[in-house]
Each structure stands twice: as C-alpha cells, then as structure tokens.
Amino acid sequence: MTPLTMFIVSDSVGETADLVAKAAISQFRHDVDTVVMKRFANVDNLKQIEEIALLAQRQKALIVHTLVKSEMREGMAHYAMENGVQAIDLIGPIVDMIGGRLEESPFEEPGLVRQLDDDYFKKIEAIEFAVKYDDGRDPRGILLADIVLVGVSRTSKTPLSQYLAHHRYKVANVPLVPEVEPPAELLQIDPARCFGLVISPEKLNFIRKERLIALGLKDDASYAKVSRIEQEIEHFEKVVERVGCRVINVTNRAVEETANIILDQIEQLK
C-alpha cells in the first residue's frame, strides 16, 4: 500500500481542511487512519509557512490548507513551489469567487465560522445533554428531551444521540432489558418524539460477539446468544407498543440514514 502523509494547515483550528481531506481520502482508503495526517493549527506568520513547506518536502507530504489571509495563501504557494511540494488551497478560490460576485473584500479574519453564537451554544448544550442522559442514566432526561431513543443493547443509540445532538437536538436514550421495567417517563412523552431502534437477531448476534471479543471475553456469553437476543427483542416490541412510538429497523442502515428518518419526522412537528 502506497504511504501517504498529509499536512493540514490552518490559521484557525483546521477542522474544515481536516474534514475535506478525510472525505477525499475515503474515496481511496476505507480506513483513513492508514494515512498519516498532521495538523498545523493557528498558523499566523510566513516563517511558519516556510518551515511547514520545508518539513513537507522532507516527509514527501501533501499540504491541504484553509488560510484566509491572502498574504498567507500567497506565501504558501510560493514556499510550496520553491520546495517542490504540492499544496491545495481549499478556501482561497471560493473566497475570490464570492468577493468578485459581491464586489466586496473579505474580512480575512481566521475562525469567523466558529464564532460563539446562539447556534454554537445550542449545539454544545445538546451534546452535553446527550452525554448526561446517555444509556438511561437519569430517566428525568426523557421528559426534557427533544428526541428519545429506545432499543436493546448495541443498536447504535449512543452514536445516533451524538449525531442528532450535532443538529442541536437534545436526545435521551434508554436501553431496554427484560429484567428491568422501563422508566415511567416513557409513557408520559409525545410518542411522535420517541423512536424505537430494532435490529435483526442475526446481525445483533454478530455485533455482540465482536464486542465480547474486543473486550477480551469469550463470545459464547448469554449476552450474545440468539435465544437471549430474541427474548430482548420480544420485550422491546411490547414496550414500544405501549409507548406508541415509531420503530426503525437499523439492521443495514448507517447512523446518518437513521438520523435523517428521525429528523424528517421531527421537522414535521414544528
């Protein structure tokens, strides 16, 4: 496998360049961790640019950058060419195009997209809420949540909660097990804001076995047996019928797909 090193360079935190680079890499490698990615954040002078270009030459790295100041972008182009390094400017061409259309000059202030506005605070609040009320830790969160997820263990409740939190929704998730009576709060909420996550016994059997192996345990524990899984799903079906919520089969769905189904329904309630 051909090795690849990428330098992510930004005059802010570098999240944008990092995400774009990973999206591009994923078209060639399913595991983006096989690519060495080094982030250079808060780069604010030409001396740093020169040093990064020299280092990229030594390590035969590609440079991907989101430098908003024209002086810095020009410096990167100069030093990259001088050192025979490939550098991709992700933001410059777009800024120039928009500036031409608006007939305005850009602010050239790093980090504006991350200003601490209401939207940003709502996202942080939602993420903290999802952590606090994850895995049924506190049933009081069910009544405070915008969205409630229920399901048996290993049906992607936690990653789905975090994904929805990034869309600024407060999410509580509740695991359902036959031996534990579901929280009374589940029967007090609007069923349209509650979603049951179900998965095929075969798929869940595989996932749970892999989970046990990853923990260094034997994969023949009751937790991973099909008979136990079927018992849990039967209990799940009884609970969601009482709640009256929508059930989504997540067997062959990515978290993003499930989230879109939920968001579509929630948006209709507004």
Q: Which tens digits make up the pLDDT trace of 228-238?
A: 999 999 999 99
Q: Is the pLDDT of residue 31 over 80?
A: no
Phi/psi at 137 (nearest 5 deg)? -60, -40
Of 76, 95, 114, the domain-final residue = 114
Cα–Cα distance measured from residue 86 to residue 64, given in angstroms and rounded to the nearest whole number = 9
Share of the chain above pLDDT 70, in %: 97
Output Rg (C-alpha) for the chain, integer angstroms. 24
- Binding-site residues for ADP, in ranges, read 151-158
Check residue 172 and give its pLDDT. Answer: 98
In terms of Cα–Cα distance, which of 37, 87, 97, 38 is closest to 67? 87
Check residue 117 and give its pLDDT. Answer: 63
Phi/psi at 187 (nearest 5 deg)? -90, 0
Cα–Cα distance measured from residue 104 to residue 98, given in angstroms and rounded to the nearest whole number = 8
pLDDT band at 94 (very low <50, low <70, confident <90, very high): very high
Measured between its terminal Cα atoms, the distance across the chain in Å is 50
Predicted TM-score (pTM) above 0.85: no
Cα–Cα distance measured from residue 90 to residue 153, given in angstroms and rounded to the nearest whole number = 41
- Binding-site residues, in ranges, read 151-158
Phi/psi at 143 (nearest 5 deg)? -75, -20
Domain extent, residue 56, equals 5-114
Same domain, 109 and 204: no
Same domain, 88 and 141: no
Q: pLDDT digit string (tens) for 212-228?
A: 888 888 877 888 899 99
Check residue 114 and give its pLDDT. Answer: 65
Instruction: Write down the residue that tokens 């915008």 correspond to.
Output: 146
pLDDT band at 175 (very low <50, low <70, confident <90, very high): very high
Same domain, 62 and 77: yes
Domain at 73, CATH number: 3.40.50
In this structure, is the dihedral angle defined by the CA atoms of residues 142, 146, 152 and 158, taken in order, positive or negative?
negative
